[in-house]
Structure 1
Amino acid sequence: MIPRLSTNLLIGALVRKAEAEGGFAAVLSKGDESSGSILVILTEKGTNPRLYERLLGADGLYSWQLALTAETDKSLEMSDFLARRRRFDPDLWVIELDVPSAERFAADMNSVG
């Protein structure tokens, strides 16, 4: 069995990593502290939001996958997506991270968990 971080610890690690890199982090909705699903909205200076989801692979390891991108005029689409997911999964965590280099941060998220 592969040991896993609790969701609460992973959220804390992502928030601290974003803040350490000069970014901003906000928990938009809390889910189950030990095993809730996670969606991360990554932005860079408040623009170009990208939604990443932590998924369990066939190899038993988690990885972050790009779930949705939204242009500024399509932000309603992202909020609708989040509302639907939250309605079907009350254990879902949603966090927003505004970081200086969103693409690099997204690549680094797999090293966090």
Structure 2
Amino acid sequence: MSDGRLPAHLEASSLLRRAEAERGFGMILHKGDADRGSLLLLIASRGVHCACLERALGPTGYAWQAVGPAAGVDAQSLAEWTSKRVRFDEDLWLIELDIPDPQRFIAETTSEG
């Protein structure tokens, strides 16, 4: 791959393992293209939505950024938003991570780039 990214399926697996290592769990809600699919993370803590993160191409390369509904949004609104995203991009990987310390996870993930 010319952009240096891992294949999407490998990155998805590593995110699930990272959540488990932090005493949380993860689930793939939609599998996208195994190699080139984009990743969208739904971050929660004890079932309460905290944030959505998406890796996007910016001026300095790929970086994670916050997108979508705000923290605490109801489940139906979040489901409607994610459904639209999957319909728009069938190659998208939709991954839910429920972790004990979501703010630390988000800060570490967005600073990694």
- TM-score, length of structure 1 as denominator length: 0.87
Look up the SS of the partner of 2:42 in the other structure.
Answer: strand
Which residue is equivalent to 1:79? 79
Matching of residues 8-27 of structure 1 within 5 Å: 8-27=9-28
> Which structure 2 segments of 5+ residues have no match?
none
Look up the SS of the partner of 1:56 in the other structure.
Answer: strand
Query: Is 1:55–1:64's contact at 8 Å kept on the other side of the alignment?
Result: yes
The alignment status of 1:90 with 2:90, answered yes or no, reads yes
Give, in angstroms, the shift of residue 112 of structure 1: 6.3
Give, in angstroms, the shift of residue 52 of structure 1: 1.1
1:112 and 1:6 map into 2 onto residues whose CA distance is: 17
1:86 and 1:52 map into 2 onto residues whose CA distance is: 15
Which residue is equivalent to 2:100? 100
> Which structure 1 segments of 5+ residues have no match?
none
The alignment status of 1:31 with 2:32, answered yes or no, reads yes
Look up the SS of the partner of 1:16 in the other structure.
Answer: helix
- Could you say what the CA RMSD is over the residues aligned between the two structures, in angstroms? 1.8
| Total equivalences in the alignment | 111
Query: Is 1:39–1:95's contact at 8 Å kept on the other side of the alignment?
Result: yes
Q: Percent identity?
A: 40
Give, in angstroms, the shift of residue 29 of structure 1: 0.5
Superimposed CA distance per residue, residues 12-66 of structure 1 (whole angstroms, 9 cap, x where no aligned partner): 111111001100110000000111011100011111331111111112x211111
Query: Is 1:7–1:32's contact at 8 Å kept on the other side of the alignment?
Result: yes
2:91 and 2:49 map into 1 onto residues whose CA distance is: 26
The alignment status of 1:52 with 2:50, answered yes or no, reads no
